[in-house]
Amino acid sequence: MAKLFESHIAWRYLFSKKGHNAINIVSGISAAAVAVVTAAMVCVLSVMNGFGSLVERMFSEFDPVLLVVPSEGQTLRTDTLPIRSLYAREDIEAVSIQLEQTALIRYKDHQLPARVMGVDTLFTRTAHIDSIITDGFYSVWDGAFDRAVLGRGLAAQIGINAHFTGALHLYAPERNGRINMLRPDLSLRHEHAFIAGTFAVNQLEYDDQLMLVSLPLAQRLFDYDEYTASALRITPRIVDGRLSIVDSRRSIADFKLKIANLLGPGYKVLDRYEQQEDFFRILRIEKLLTILLLVFILLIASFNIIGSLSMLIIDKREDIRILSDLGADEPTIRRVFLLEGWLISSLGTMSGLIIGVLLCLGQQHFEWLKLGSGSEYVISAYPVLVQPTDILLVAVIVLLLGFLAALYPAKKMTIHE
């Protein structure tokens, strides 16, 4: 009953006419300030989610669902019992092996270091390489000649495109040989390939550095019988009568744990987030810093609640004395004004959440804010992804700060001066 009484009084104070019009104005400004910051938090976090989801989709076109790498050292062997066991599993559709090292590539007078990745014939089963080809076609062996597929930026740096007929030359130091100081060129292994196409993941570490060749060429060039990683593709399964790839983070995490237990401690199984761990860590840090910055702005806006509630307490001195004479004790009256301040914050929070979500949905459908036009932009408008967890997080932060802002003037209130 006491709680109902306090809520009724606080609700009446929120919308009733005050003795001074300035209190109504300050209360409205307080709620509006909280609403604006809340909407800004929803929009900013949703845009960051949108960019994160966009980049994640870009990586997913190239990175496999799961990647097996050695726990120690650089190379793996295909003849080990744990690796052979992967080929026999029905829940693994394809196992592609890769060998990646750094080499010097040269075309006519242009030369630069690049990451050369040798891939087998199952590479197209574990990566959607055909969907990111920007010029030419994907091929690392045409039956007669070795071919190469370069990142778009790497091809531009070396001055070549898919329509050039000249050979690319690849150089790597002898793995176990000694360097001839008189003829250093004799200490290099040399291979060549003809360009077949270019691809674009729209990430510099791929587009400006990576080159795909056949696995046999890479093994000859780097003098390796082993390989550096094994890419896995999960077998599609029937869900509700339709074919579905297991792609939820939880299901992939469960499958990853199962494979890791099968392979043992000598191997690491990486999902797409772990394959790009540095990038996603930076993204999480940026999101955290953004939240902290907006919380600081919200903290400044919350001072309006302190001022509004302090003015209301002064305006309602006569009401406070009447409530006291009717038997309301000091903690009860304090809770009335504490609830009043929290209601102002709640009103601003709910308004801000609704405005923020509507703005995000509008951006998704109508693309109001454009990034620009031209080939330098992957998308034309700011991407937006509203996540319920972010809405809940924003609501909790704003309501908590609103409660703390209302707590100070309520605690300082006294019935008798």
Q: In the 8-state DSSP scheme, what is residue 184?
A: G
Based on the domain organization, do 270 and 326 belong to the same domain?
Answer: no
Based on the domain organization, do 324 and 354 belong to the same domain?
Answer: yes
Based on the domain organization, do 265 and 297 belong to the same domain?
Answer: no
Task: Estimate the crossing angle of helix 317-325 against helix 277-315, to 10 degrees.
Answer: 80
| Residue span of the structural domain in which 134 resides | 64-274
Q: Which residue has better confidence, 310 or 102?
A: 102
> How confident is the model at residue 245, as a pLDDT?
46
Based on the domain organization, do 256 and 214 belong to the same domain?
Answer: yes
Based on the domain organization, do 147 and 228 belong to the same domain?
Answer: yes
Dist. CA 161–CA 148, nearest whole Å? 11
- The residue out of 207, 241, 274 marking a domain boundary is 274
Asked whether residue 146 is assigned to any structural domain, the reply reads: yes
Dist. CA 375–CA 122, nearest whole Å? 31
Asked whether residue 177 is assigned to any structural domain, the reply reads: yes
| Total domains present in the chain | 2
Tens-digit pLDDT profile for residues 160-181: 999 998 999 999 988 776 666 6
Based on the domain organization, do 113 and 155 belong to the same domain?
Answer: yes
Asked whether residue 386 is assigned to any structural domain, the reply reads: yes
Q: Could you tell me the two tokens for 321?
A: 């004395």
Asked whether residue 138 is assigned to any structural domain, the reply reads: yes
Asked whether residue 331 is assigned to any structural domain, the reply reads: yes
Say if strands 242-244 and 147-151 run parallel, antiparallel, or are unpaired: unpaired
Based on the domain organization, do 50 and 76 belong to the same domain?
Answer: no
- The residue out of 274, 307, 324 marking a domain boundary is 274
Do 302 and 400 contact (CB within 8 A), yes or no?
Answer: no
Based on the domain organization, do 266 and 343 belong to the same domain?
Answer: no
Q: Specify the range with the lowest mean pLDDT, choosing from 111-125, 142-156, 169-183.
A: 169-183
Tens-digit pLDDT profile for residues 12-53: 666 665 555 566 777 788 889 999 999 999 999 999 999 989
Tens-digit pLDDT profile for residues 298-322: 888 888 888 877 777 777 777 767 7
- The residue out of 274, 293, 326 marking a domain boundary is 274
Dist. CA 33–CA 405, nearest whole Å? 13
Residue 234 pLDDT > 50, yes or no? yes
Asked whether residue 398 is assigned to any structural domain, the reply reads: yes
pTM to 2 decimal places: 0.81
Q: Could you tell me the two tokens for 319?
A: 């009401």
Based on the domain organization, do 292 and 381 belong to the same domain?
Answer: yes
Task: Look up tokens 């300050």; give the residue.
Answer: 26
Based on the domain organization, do 287 and 381 belong to the same domain?
Answer: yes
Based on the domain organization, do 214 and 78 belong to the same domain?
Answer: yes
> How confident is the model at residue 174, as a pLDDT?
85
Asked whether residue 417 is assigned to any structural domain, the reply reads: no
Percent of the chain at pLDDT above 90? 50
Based on the domain organization, do 265 and 353 belong to the same domain?
Answer: no
Asked whether residue 392 is assigned to any structural domain, the reply reads: yes
